[in-house]
Amino acid sequence: MADFDVIVIGAGPGGYVAAIKAAQQGKKTAVVEREHLGGICLNWGCIPTKALLKSAEMFQAMQHADQFGLDVTGVKADFAKVMGRSREVAGGMSKGIDFLMKKNKITVIEGTASFTGPGAIEVTDGKGKATAYSAAAIIIATGHRPRTFPHLPVDGTRMINYRHALELEKLPKSLLCIGAGAIGMEFGYFFSTMGAEVTVVEVMDQVLPLEDHEVAKFVERQFTKQKVKVRTATKVTKVDVGKKSVTVHLQDSKGAETTLEVEKVLVAVGFLANTDGLNLDKAGVQLDERGFIKVDEHQRTTAEGIYAIGDVAGKQLLAHKASFEGEAAVGHICGHPQPVDYAQIPGCTYCQPQVASLGLTERKAKEKGIEVNIGRFQFAASGKAKAIGHPEGFVKLLFEKQYGGIVGAHIAGVDATEMLGELSLAFKLESTAKEIMETVHAHPTLSEAVMEAAADALGMCVHQ
Give yes or no: residues 390 and 372 share one domain.
yes
- Domain termination residue (choose one: 299, 322, 343): 343
Instruction: Identify whether 441 is part of a domain.
Output: yes
Handedness of CA 344, 365, 454, 208 (dihedral sign): positive
Give yes or no: residues 86 and 120 share one domain.
yes
Give yes or no: residues 44 and 132 share one domain.
yes
Boundaries of domain holding 243:
159-269
- What's the whole-number mean pLDDT along residues 216-235? 98
pTM value > 0.85: yes
Give yes or no: residues 278 and 265 share one domain.
no
Instruction: Work out the mean pLDDT of the chain and round it to a whole number.
Output: 96
Instruction: Identify whether 152 is part of a domain.
Output: no
Number of C-beta neighbours around residue 338 at 10 A: 13
- What's the whole-number mean pLDDT along residues 154-158? 96
Of 36, 213, 443, 463, catalytic: 443
- What's the whole-number mean pLDDT along residues 97-124? 96
Number of C-beta neighbours around residue 48 at 10 A: 24
**Residues 233-271: b if buried by 16+ CB within 10 A, e if exposed:** ebebeebeeeeebbebebbeeeeeeeebebbbbbbbbeb
Give yes or no: residues 82 and 11 share one domain.
yes
Q: Is 463 a residue whose pLDDT tops 90?
A: no
Q: What pLDDT band is residue 132 in, cutting at 50, 70 and 90?
A: very high
Give yes or no: residues 360 and 421 share one domain.
yes
Q: Is 327 a residue whose pLDDT tops 70?
A: yes
CATH of the domain at 110: 3.50.50.60
Give yes or no: residues 37 and 135 share one domain.
yes
Give yes or no: residues 113 and 202 share one domain.
no
Q: Is 213 a catalytic residue?
A: no
Give yes or no: residues 139 and 284 share one domain.
yes
Instruction: Identify whether 151 is part of a domain.
Output: no
Give yes or no: residues 254 and 398 share one domain.
no
CATH of the domain at 451: 3.30.390.30
Residue-wise pLDDT tens digits, 41-50: 888 888 999 9
Instruction: Identify whether 389 is part of a domain.
Output: yes
Instruction: Identify whether 39 is part of a domain.
Output: yes
- Domain termination residue (choose one: 253, 269, 285): 269
- Domain termination residue (choose one: 269, 295, 320): 269
Give yes or no: residues 113 and 29 share one domain.
yes
Q: Where are the beta strands (DSSP E) in 141-276?
A: 144-146, 159-160, 174-178, 197-201, 229-231, 234-241, 246-252, 257-262, 264-267, 271-273
Give yes or no: residues 36 and 105 share one domain.
yes
| Total number of domains in the chain | 3
Question: How would you class 206 by CB atoms within 10 Å of its CB: exposed for 0-12, middle for 13-18, buried for 19 or more?
Answer: buried
Residue-wise pLDDT tens digits, 400-426: 999 999 999 999 999 999 999 999 999
Q: Is 91 a residue whose pLDDT tops 80?
A: yes
- What pLDDT, on a 0 to 100 scale, did the predictor assign at position 1? 61
